[in-house]
Amino acid sequence: MNGKQRIVLALSLGWLLLTAGSTALSAEPGQTKVADKSAILISSPSSPLVSFRFVFRVGSQDDPSGKEGLAALTTAMIAEGGTASLSYEQLLEKFYPMAATLDGACRKEATAFQGTVHRDNLKAYIPLVTELLTAPRFAPDDFKRLRNEALDYVTKTLRGNNDEELGKWTLQCDLYKGHPHGHPDRGTVQGLKAITLDDVKAFHKRYYTREALTLGMAGGFEPAAASQVESNLASLPRQAQGLPPLDPPAVRPGLEVTIVAKPAEATAISIGFPIDVTRRDEEFYALAVANSYLGEHRTFNGKLMQDLRGKRGLNYGDYSYIEDFIQEGMSTFQVPNNPRRQQYFSIWVRPVPRDKAAFALRAALWELDRLATEGMSPADFEATRSFLLNYSKLWVQTLSRRLGYAIDGQFYGRNDLVTELAERLRRLTVEQVNAAVRKHLKPPGMKIAIVARNADELRDILTSGKPSPITYDTQGTPENILAEDKQIAAFPLKNVTVKIVPVERMFEE
Amino acid sequence: MPRCLQFAAVIMLFTQVTAPAAGPGQAERQPIFPFPIQQTTLDNGLSVISVPFDSPGIIAYYTVVRTGSRNEVERGLSGFAHFFEHMMFRGTRKYSQEKYNDVLKSLGADSNAFTTDDWTCYHTTIPATALGTAVEIESDRFENLKYDESSFQKEARAVLGEYNKNASSPFLKLEEAMQNTAFTRHTYKHTTLGFLEDIKDMPNQFAYSKIFFDRWYRPENCTIVATGDVKHDELVSLVKAHYGSWARGKASVEIPTEPLQTEPRSAHVSWPVPTLPTLYLGYHMPASDPANPDIAALAAIEQAVFGETSPLSRELVLKEQKVVTLMAEASPHRDPGLFSIIARIRTSADLPAVRQRIADALAEAGRTPIDSARLDAVRSHLKYAYAASLRSADAVAHAVGESIAITGRPDAMNDLFAAFERLTPADPQRVAARYFIPTNETVIILETEKKK
């Protein structure tokens, strides 16, 4: 069966069909065996919109050493740089009346291009986006503009305009030091400066292959449109590259703290450690329940949020994660198409006042320790499982997101996450959850990234072995909270090492 | 809820349906909003709106309060609308904060709130089967909110935390400087977060918080919007039962009118670590009344003069590469607000030249009618962008909620897009000559702090 026949069959079968090649991201190094073509089509005839996702199995993990940022710059050169037949300016003129775009995002192990267009404009949109992917223009002017943008992002935006992102990227770089995941996706300063336009062209030729691509379309389109997309992509090189090997990231016992020193009004904190669990594993779904209980992203359900913000007013929010998590726009939901072979657990403590930073760090570690030591109660387990079963259905409210989740399921050799949760959570027990927590969330060592003005003072506090009590400037803190505060203030910080890095040296190379 | 049901029996209802189809004689033009809007007003003034459409099993349930930082007229109490949004999650006698969260958790709801200059919005996305529960717990907190001073003070510090997280971006400082400089009397002078000194003082304002709730959390100031898998009759019946006894308010405040600006204004913001120099321009513009033709014309200028296919953007961003980002926004506001332009520039040396180029582009827009093909492209862009924005029950509820909040009507977007269709090439020229003049301009410049 050829690709065209497969797409027509998919549509005739109706809702969703995953074609052969569902092992695309699941193959291990040296065993890269993927189907020639893979496509996920979701037909919704009543929709006036058509969403596209083109997900390539290439990411910042493929950046050559010394050229960190090459994968992301190639993504930008495709999405924001015109085609062989149209300059970027001409392309924008074509896109503008349709209010259409092709947005590109390079992540660690995948690069996702997505766009949504009204079906009135489908015929005009398809040749533009397929030419962007197969025959990008790679003009020198666009290269200069987009490389400068990436440099501005790293040196100005990341270092100077958003302490929370700075903290999160510091944590990721520390967790994966000397590892393909160990630099910002947008690149390092020296890496970006070393990249040439020829590097971008070669990278595109090497990694943008049909085998590396999962194509997704959803919405009110006819079979002919899907066939057209497939046929336009035929000029991509066929065979995918093997995946770079990923060694297990090294973690030594104790707390390894990096304090990024900068003139910050408040103190941003990120805590994390690698976990050997992904959506591929049974235990992922057990950890998903425990994590939701501890700190579901941007909800008021989590213990971290209730205890640090709600009861103590320490900051704006506190959440936890069992995989790399990027929020989609203003929503509270995770972006799709950020699949990874290796994941990490993290806690995000949003900026706290300087004098409460050490206490807030201890409070977050204390909450995690309580979960790992005491486990979830049967009642909390039931409530959280019920929540996740319903809440996860909201993750796929739009056609584009359904498509994204379906593609991710394929990468992990699973159904989409929402379907997996619906099936697996019903069978899960509180004992399984607590066993997974004990096994994975009580590591010998953790890394901590802090962005702070008072780096030296904070280092002294964290390494002193002394308690860090909290002093409230608010009245009426209940006695039970004050009693807990004493435990938190003295929560042992074992084997602490602190490295202080001036912000202007971050992400340099 | 016998008390509510008893009261509901005597409630008078006023129901109207705003159909999406054009009437006789208007067949050539479909309204931009593609779904039918049904609206019922209860006797106590509470408006109930439903927008049913294909969203199987999911409802977005919004409570729109027509109060934002615009309403903060008392000195020293800026930021209170936003602070109060936080307090609304602190529980009632019947549903403590923990119990309220437990109910939401059991539903698997996505629930949160936000505040703007003009409105406060409480939004929840729920399974359609949970509508009754949502109406019950939401009505309870709007009518019976109860919190003590201790939790009030803790929440005040969470609000300070929100300020702190935003303060690591220079855009907060830019926005503060713009509003504080462009406005002298109107409450748009402060941002929605409020002046920092007022935020720090919030723990001391427990007594005022009771006044604030009593003043603004009243049925005639609120609208329930439910979209997706919802039936209007069922919604109205539930709302009548649960919100029917909510008493109207009496209080109102006078929001100062901003006097006409008569001279150029400016301010400078410095940033302690390296940042892209930024030019931020503001021009007073009218309130977003869709009946005012200037509103559609200014939106066309936003696109035609500053959009990514505009000559200015192509030259500054793509060819000369002096500017990293160029954007304009004719932001919808209930009272006269600002048309703003922002340019992030690669080096400070180019700031004066970029400022002059923007001034030249605006002057040219005031001298010359817009090319009609360009106007058609702008109209097409706005139409398809709007269609793509209505992608979920939540997005549809947001669109209707914003329309209610700004104009008092759920379907103002239809009038705005009809006004786009009526625009002639001379309209953008007319408004450019009227609004983009030096005596109506505020300039804020952000640069990296110079080392001493």
Please write the tens of the pLDDT for every residue from A45-96: 888 999 999 999 999 999 999 999 999 999 999 999 999 999 999 999 999 9
Nearest to A475 among B150, B158, B392 (CB): B150
Q: Which pLDDT belongs to residue B452?
A: 64
- Cβ separation of A383 and B102 shorter than 8 Å? yes
Residue B449 with chain A: CB contacts under 8 Å: none
Q: Kindly state whether residue A482 falls inside one of the protein's structural domains.
A: yes
Contact B106 A386 (CB under 8 A): yes
DSSP H/E element including B59: strand B58-65
> Within its chain, how far is the Cα of A335 from the centroid?
7
Instruction: Show me where the domains of chain B are located.
Output: 2-243, 265-370+425-448
Q: Decide: A404 and A53 in contact? Cβ < 8 Å.
A: yes
**pLDDT at A46 (0 to 100):** 86
pLDDT confidence band for A330 (50 / 70 / 90)? confident
* pLDDT at B18 (0 to 100): 55
Q: In what order do the strands lie in the sheet with A343-352?
A: A318-321, A343-352, A267-275, A445-452, A254-261, A496-502
Mutation target vs B (from A122, A143, A148, A152; most B CBs, 10 A cutoff): A152
A165 touches chain B (CB under 8 A): no
pLDDT beyond 60 at B188: yes
Structural domain span for residue A146: 3-235
Q: Confirm or reject CATH 3.30.830.10 for domain B265-370+425-448, answering yes or no.
A: yes
Residues of A in contact with B147 (CB under 8 A): none
Please tell me whether residues A78 and A191 are part of one structural domain. yes
- Residue A87: phi and psi, rounded to 5, are -65, 165
Extract long-range pairs of B188-191: CB within 8 Å, 24+ residues apart: B188/B69, B188/B70, B188/B117, B188/B258, B188/B333, B188/B335, B188/B337, B188/B338, B190/B69, B190/B72, B190/B78, B190/B79, B191/B69
Average pLDDT over residues B239-261: 94
Chain B residues within 8 A of A475 when measuring between CB atoms: 149-150, 153, 203
Q: Are A115 and A178 members of one domain?
A: yes
**Angle at the Cα of B129 from the Cα atoms of B127 and B135, rounded to 5 degrees:** 90
Q: Is residue A212 located within the same domain as residue A296?
A: no
CA distance A31 to A28: 5
Q: Are strands A445-452 and A254-261 parallel, antiparallel or unpaired?
A: parallel
- Residues of B with Cβ-Cβ distance to A155 under 8 angstroms: 274
Residue B363, pLDDT above cutoff 60: yes
- Burial of residue A325 (number of CB atoms within 10 Å: 0-12, 13-18, 19+): middle
Provide the domain count of chain A.
Answer: 2
Arithmetic mean of pLDDT, A363-375: 97
Quick: pLDDT tens for A198-247.
Answer: 999 999 999 999 999 999 999 999 999 999 999 999 999 998 888 899 99
Within this chain, do residues A364 and A471 fall inside the same structural domain, yes or no? yes
Reported as a single tens digit per residue, the pLDDT across A455-490 is: 999 999 999 999 999 999 999 899 999 999 999 999
CATH of the domain at A157: 3.30.830.10
Tell me the mean pLDDT in the region B250-254. Answer: 85
What is the C-alpha to C-alpha distance for residues B96 and B103, in angstroms, rounded to an integer? Answer: 10
In a domain, A199, yes or no: yes
**For strand A213-219 and strand A39-43, is the pairing parallel, antiparallel, or unpaired?**
parallel
Question: For residue A147, which phi and psi values (nearest 5 degrees)?
Answer: -70, -40
Using CB atoms and an 8 Å cut-off, which of residues 184-213 of chain A contact chain B? none
As separate numbers, helices (DSSP H) first and strands (DSSP E) second, chain B gives 16, 12
Say whether both A221 and A305 belong to one domain: no
The verdict on a CB contact (< 8 Å) between B391 and A394 is: no
Q: Is residue A398 part of a domain?
A: yes
* Closest chain B residue to the Cα of A115, Cα to Cα: B388
Q: Is the pLDDT of residue B344 over 80?
A: yes
Q: What is the pTM of this model?
A: 0.92
What is the per-residue pLDDT across B390-426, written as a single tens digit (0 to 9) for each? 989 999 999 999 999 999 999 999 999 999 999 999 9
Rounded CA-CA distance A400/A115 in Å is 8
Cβ <8 Å between A265 and B380: no
pLDDT tens column, B165-182: 999 999 999 999 999 999
Letter for the amino acid at B416? Answer: L
Contacts of B127 in chain A (CB under 8 A): 390, 393
Flag whether pLDDT at A305 surpasses 50.
Answer: yes
Interface membership of A356 toward B (CB under 8 Å)? no
A196: left (phi over 0), alpha (psi -120 to 50) or beta: beta
Q: Is the pLDDT of residue A22 over 60?
A: no
Asked if the model's pLDDT at residue B10 lies above 50, the reply is no
> Is there a domain that residue A244 lies in?
no
- Do the Cβ atoms of B78 and B195 come closer than 8 Å? yes
DSSP code at position A2: -
Residue A349 belongs to a domain: yes
Mean pLDDT, chain B, whole residue set: 92
Nearest of A297, A346, A292 to residue A317 by alpha carbon: A297
Specify whether A350 is located in the same domain as A458: yes
Quick one: chain A helix, strand, coil %, rounded to 5?
45, 15, 35
With beta carbons under 8 A apart, name residues in chain A contacting B60: none
Percent of chain A with pLDDT over 70: 93
CA distance B21 to A124: 28
Buried b (16+ CB within 10 A) or exposed e, A206-222: ebbbbbbbbbbbbbbbe
Strands B58-65 and B222-228: antiparallel
| A226 & A301 share domain | no
- CA nearest neighbour of A206 among A408, A338, A71: A71
Q: A400: nearest CA in chain B? A: B391
Mark yes or no for CB contact B55/A383 under 8 Å. no
**CA-angle at B311, arms to B305 and B317, nearest 5°:** 100
User: Is it true that B2-243 and B265-370+425-448 share their CATH fold?
Assistant: yes
Question: Could you tell me if A117 and A186 lie in one domain?
Answer: yes
Q: Is A478 exposed, middle or buried (0-12, 13-18, 19+ CB in 10 A)?
A: exposed
Q: Is the per-residue pLDDT at B242 higher than 80?
A: yes
DSSP run (H or E) holding B222: strand B222-228
A371 and A294 in a common domain: yes
Distance CA A259, CA A256 (A): 10
The verdict on residue A242 lying in a domain is: no
Instruction: Answer with the one of A235, A270, A300 that is the final residue of a domain.
Output: A235
Facing A89 at nearest CB: one of B34, B104, B314:
B314
CATH fold label, B2-243: Cytochrome Bc1 Complex; Chain A, domain 1 (3.30.830)
| Structure-block tokens of residue A287 | 């950890």
A23 and A114 share one domain: yes
Q: How far apart are CA B52 and CA B232, in angstroms?
A: 8
Strand (E) positions, A170-253?
Answer: 213-219
Cβ-contact A458, A362 below 8 angstroms = no
Residue of B129, B273, B375 best to disrupt the A interface, most CBs of A under 10 A: B273
Average pLDDT for residues B127-145, to the nearest whole number?
A: 96
| CA–CA dist A261, B431 (Å, integer) | 49
| Adjacency order of strands within the sheet including A39-43 | A16-18, A39-43, A213-219, A49-56, A111-118, A103-106
Find the residue in A nearest to B91 (Cα).
A310
pLDDT at residue number B250: 83
- Please check whether residues A402 and A469 belong to one and the same domain: yes
Q: How far, in Å, CA of A372 to CA of A368, rounded?
A: 6
The helix (run of H) or strand (run of E) holding residue B338 is strand B338-345
Q: Is A475 near chain B, with CB under 8 Å?
A: yes
- pLDDT tens figures, B12-66: 334 455 555 444 444 456 899 999 999 999 999 999 999 999 888 999 999 999 9
Contact A237, A210 (CB under 8 A): yes
A248 falls within a domain? no
Together in a domain, A222 and A264: no
Q: Out of A180, A203, A235, pick the residue that ends a domain.
A: A235
User: Quick check: is A288 in a domain?
Assistant: yes
- The domain boundary, picked from A235, A268, A290, lies at A235
**Which position has the token pair 């006044």?**
B211
